[in-house]
Amino acid sequence: MTLTIQIEELEQQQQRVLIEVPEERIKKEMRKNARKLAYDLRIPGFRKGKAPYRVIIKRVGEANLRAEAQEELVQPLYEEAIAQEKITVYGQPSFDDTKQWPLRFVYTISLPPTVELGDYRALRRDVDEINISEEAIDEAINSILEEYVILDDVDRPVEVGDLVLLDGHGELVIDIEEDEYLEETAVDPDEIEDIDEEEEEEDWSDSIIFDEENTELVMDSNELFPGTPFVDHIIGLSAGESCEFTFTFPDDYADEELAGKEVEFSIDVTNVQSRTLPELTDEFVLELKQKEETVAELRESTEKLLIRQAKDDIQNDLLDALGKDLVADATITYPQNAIEMEIDDMIEDVKAQIEQSGWKMEDYLRLQGQGEDEFREDFRENATTRLTTNLALGEFLKQEKITVSMEDLEAEIEKRLDSFTDDENLRNSIRGYYKQGQGLDMISSQVLMEKTAVRFADILTGNAPDLDVLDAVDTAVDEGEEE
């Protein structure tokens, strides 16, 4: 039976659907429910299940039976209407109301988001190239050697490269008269004693930048407050000796909160150890018990690792830029429930992490001093960004005809296995992991993102294939599959 349906277009990818409920459907549902009640009710003069319809009506009331029939038709009539009108629904609908004469059910449904991308093919930008220097390889190998460093207590002054056990305190030098806090709050220096002690302690604690006890530091000026004489002041001290010194951070210091500020340190040296790195030889490489057996092989594998890391960094930068570029010039329309669904997913992820840590969600919220609604609102901005970015990227993949084939997956799996040992059982186990379940999902996603980054790089450099060519290839593939 064809239903009589009215559809009203609403804002933000929503529709109001009014379905006229055929009276015969109501009567049919009422009789079906009456038959059930005939078995459930004990009616004098009739065997179980044998009471006629008119008797059931008299017993329970026609209005009650009709109301129950209407309630049970809400879902099946909705499903029939959606199928009849061939509507693609996004998320769950809401049943809003019933209207009488004629009887109609009123629903609000959400439609899938729509995305109209801008002219992203016109984007042009330089793309970073991978260039691994010999110095970078040396530094990476040196990090390996550092894991096997030989430490010896020494009875001599501290030298560059030593491991020093020390206590220390470092605090920014603040001029009371010019203190930014006093300027902003217009506090007279003569009235400082009136400031609340707790507030004063909190403000002054912000000036402490170094407060350590029994901490071990390698005397490397490139790592410890780089660009300052911090290490220089400790060089030459022996165990049991102390020093106090001040210096001013460079104006271009990496930490902007410290740049151009004066600091005062006090240091007590407790112990000094020399650090000797093992010699890089084929024998040392063998002791690592890795796939490599010689220094040359170690350098080669290290270079491959650095190339892969650089490639990953470039890929991540490209994908981040792609998402922002697409969203900035796109027209994206989505129903409100799309954001709510995104927030649901994000909260579920956080909830899983919290529960994995042994906490209950309600205890976590109590600790944060938040209610569920407030906690949920904290996700809204990020959820909106994530949704629009994913929608734009999804449309980009669709327009660029980017997919992942089994050949792509096989090639990626074998490439990853190259970094493992020659243990064939282990390799087969890893191969099996990547071909099903979570492992398959993970590697498929990674291959897809890699292909996406490569295509975007080609677009930025003007080397991407024409969309007409991609359409022709896609059509040829579809026709081949049909044959």
For each of the chain's 483 residues, which pLDDT tens digit applies?
789 999 999 999 999 999 999 999 999 999 998 888 888 888 887 888 788 888 888 888 989 999 999 999 999 999 999 999 999 999 999 999 888 778 899 999 999 999 999 999 999 999 999 999 999 999 999 999 999 999 999 999 999 999 999 999 999 998 655 555 445 554 555 554 554 544 444 455 679 999 999 999 999 999 999 999 999 999 999 999 999 999 999 999 999 999 999 999 999 999 999 999 999 999 999 999 888 999 999 999 999 999 999 999 999 999 999 999 999 999 999 999 999 999 999 999 999 999 999 999 999 999 999 999 999 999 999 999 999 999 999 999 999 999 999 999 999 998 888 766 667 888 889 889 999 999 999 999 999 999 999 999 999 999 999 988 887 776 666 656 665
131 lies in a domain? no
Q: Do residue 256 and residue 175 come from a single domain? A: yes
288 lies in a domain? no
159: domain CATH number is 3.10.50.40
Q: Do residue 269 and residue 301 come from a single domain? A: no
Q: Do residue 315 and residue 456 come from a single domain? A: yes
DSSP string, 372-434: HHHHHHTTHHHHHHHHHHHHHHHHHHHHHT----HHHHHHHHHHHHTTS-S-HHHHHHHHHHT
Q: What's the pLDDT at 202?
A: 47
Pick the closest to residue 315 from 327, 305, 307, 325 (CA basis): 307
Q: Do residue 234 and residue 317 come from a single domain? A: no
121 lies in a domain? no
Q: Do residue 42 and residue 165 come from a single domain? A: no
247 lies in a domain? yes
109 and 87 Cβ atoms separated by less than 8 Å:
yes
CA pair distance 125, 130, nearest whole angstrom: 16
- Give the contacts of 10 (CB within 8 A, at least 6 positions apart): 16, 108
136 lies in a domain? no
Q: Do residue 315 and residue 417 come from a single domain? A: yes
| Cβ atoms within 10 Å, residue 313 | 12
Domains in the chain, number: 3
Strands 208-218 and 4-10: unpaired
Q: What's the pLDDT at 177?
A: 54
Q: Do residue 58 and residue 206 come from a single domain? A: no
Q: Do residue 176 and residue 207 come from a single domain? A: yes
Q: Do residue 449 and residue 304 come from a single domain? A: yes
Q: What's the pLDDT at 56?
A: 86
Q: Do residue 83 and residue 155 come from a single domain? A: no
Q: Do residue 315 and residue 231 come from a single domain? A: no
13 lies in a domain? yes
Q: What's the pLDDT at 421?
A: 62
Q: Do residue 240 and residue 317 come from a single domain? A: no
CA pair distance 127, 322, nearest whole angstrom: 12
267 lies in a domain? yes
Here the tokens at position 483 are 């044959």
Domain that holds residue 169: 149-276
- 269 by Cβ neighbours in 10 Å (0-12 / 13-18 / 19+) ranks as buried
Q: What's the pLDDT at 480?
A: 61
Q: What's the pLDDT at 200?
A: 47
72: domain CATH number is 3.30.70.1050
127 lies in a domain? no
378: domain CATH number is 1.10.3120
